[in-house]
Every structure is written in C-alpha cells, then in structure tokens.
Amino acid sequence: MKAAIIQMRSGIDVPENIRAATGLIHKAATDGARFVATPEMTHLMQRDSGKLHKAVRKEDKDLGVKTFSELARILGIYLLIGSLAILRDDGKIANRSFVFDPDGTIVARYDKIHLFEAAISKTDMWREADSYAAGEQSVITAIDNFDLGLSICYDVRFANLYKGYAHARSHIISVPSAFTRATGKAHWETLLRARAIETGAYIIAPAQGGTHADGRKTWGRSMIIGPWGEILAHIDNDEPGYAIAEINISNIEQARAKIPAWKSPQ
C-alpha cells in the first residue's frame, strides 16, 4: 500500500487551513496514495487560549470533520487527519485524531493522552493542559490489511503507549505532530526511529513546519520510517508538501522475526 504524509503550515484561519490540506491530500491521492495522513492541528494553530475557545466547534458542527469526511469518500482513500481542536460536551477541548475510511465514515477517534509541557527557555514555555483535556485510551483501527495504532506528537516520548501497540502487533503507528523547532531539531528523528525499531512497525509522522500566524515555530521534517528504522520518505525542510512511500506487511514480519521482542507478553 502507498502511504503519504502531508506537511503543513497551518494558521489561525480554519477555512484557509482546510483548503490548504485539501489541496495537498488531492495531490497525494492522485500520486497513488491509498492512505494519507495530515499533521497535528490540521485546521487550526492558535496558541491564544481565549481565541482558541472562540474558534473551536463540537464534532458534529466542525467544518473540518465534514469536509474531510467528504474528501475521503470522493478520493476513495483512508484519511488520517492528524488532529483537530474539538469542543467536547463538557466545554473542554480535545486534541483529536480522526480516521476516515474510503466511504467517508469515521472509523476511529483518538484524543491525545500526553499533553505537551516544556520550558524551552524563559520566553518559550508550553503547557498544553491549560487549553486541552487529555485522552485516556489508546486506539487501534484497520487500514485495509494493516492495523494502525494512533498517537499524537508529545505521545512519542512515552514508550509505554508504543509498547502496548507493539504487544497488539500494530503494523503502523501514526505520530502526527507540531514539534517546536528547538525540540524537533534535537529529538524528532531520534525519537521516531527509536519507536520504529523498538516496535518493528512503520511510523507515519506528518508534521507542521515553519513560522505560523500565531507566532509559534515548528520543525517540519515529516517522515515515513520502516520497521527496521530506515527512513523511507522524508521532507527535508519545513515547507508545506507531501511525500509517499510503499509499505508492506512482509517487511514488518521480517523485522520482527529478526528481533522477536514482542513475540509474547512481557
């Protein structure tokens, strides 16, 4: 199966972000991608908490959910929208991944479990929990013959989540992200390749990149990594675009046969 990663530079204008994502998804599908994945916060990058709360909508009213469902149906693809900011019934905000099947049906949702917290410098401090509510459950869904385990960005630093996906024999693990420039430069590739190697799974990591309208700066460098830790597709900058790689279950089986770390529960 051909899988594609979409790299974006989303801003504070929801319709414009959706248009940008739609154009890149179309291009990737035209190039033969059966599975297309977009980054974290696909349709809204808004650091200001007050403005964020004014912009978000409940899932059944969200323009992105409606648009991307129809897009998956029209293109006949599996579409992972890395995450959208979604208003929950309790008034809190979820950082939520959506997987749409080729009929446009939502087949999986995943709310980011580990919320980003960092003090990169005295002027660059982050506490995602101030605006978002954490998810509580890991999620696996089917993409044709592949089992896909879902995660988002900061989750990649917490190995136990990926250990669970490895025990469940997930073939693919998604890591849609908006890594800061400082942490991305230092840790992005290392963490992704480590997760691929330790799980023997494909890592699909579409990212945000560049300087955004809300002032934040993200690293980009979206990647698809094979189960032996090899980089199969890579956008080597922070510009919007896409990349495609072929993924194959037999490669997973070969990697896991060489190092059968997850053959039985531990």
pLDDT digits (tens, 9 = 90+) for 16-49: 999 999 999 999 999 999 999 999 999 999 988 8
Query: Per-residue pLDDT for 146 more than 70?
Result: yes
263 located within any domain: no
264 located within any domain: no
Residue-level pLDDT at 118:
58
**Of the listed 117, 153, 198, 217, which one is catalytic?**
153
Residue-level pLDDT at 154:
94
265 located within any domain: no
Query: Per-residue pLDDT for 129 more than 90?
Result: no
Question: Average pLDDT for residues 4-11, to the nearest whole number?
Answer: 98
2 is an active site residue: no
131 located within any domain: yes
- The whole domain housing 106 covers 2-258
**Of the listed 112, 122, 189, 230, which one is catalytic?**
112
96 located within any domain: yes
Residue-level pLDDT at 72:
98
Q: Which pTM does this prediction carry? A: 0.94
pLDDT digits (tens, 9 = 90+) for 65-124: 999 999 999 999 999 999 999 999 999 999 999 999 999 999 999 999 998 665 666 666
102 located within any domain: yes
198 is an active site residue: no
Residue-level pLDDT at 125:
57
Domain count, the chain: 1
**Of the listed 40, 51, 59, 253, which one is catalytic?**
40
The three-state DSSP-derived secondary structure of the chain is CEEEEEEECCCCCHHHHHHHHHHHHHHHHHCCCCEEECCCCCCCCCCCHHHHHHHCEEHHHCHHHHHHHHHHHHHCCEEEEEEEEEECCCCCEEEEEEEECCCCCEEEEEECCCCCEEECCCCCEEEHHHCEECCCCCCEEEECCEEEEECCHHHHHCHHHHHHHHHCCCCEEECCECCEHHHHHHHHHHHHHHHHHHHCCEEEECEEEEECCCCCEEECCCEEECCCCCEEEECCCCCCEEEEEECCHHHHHHHHHHCCCCCCCC
Q: Which domain CATH number covers 139?
A: 3.60.110.10
153 is an active site residue: yes
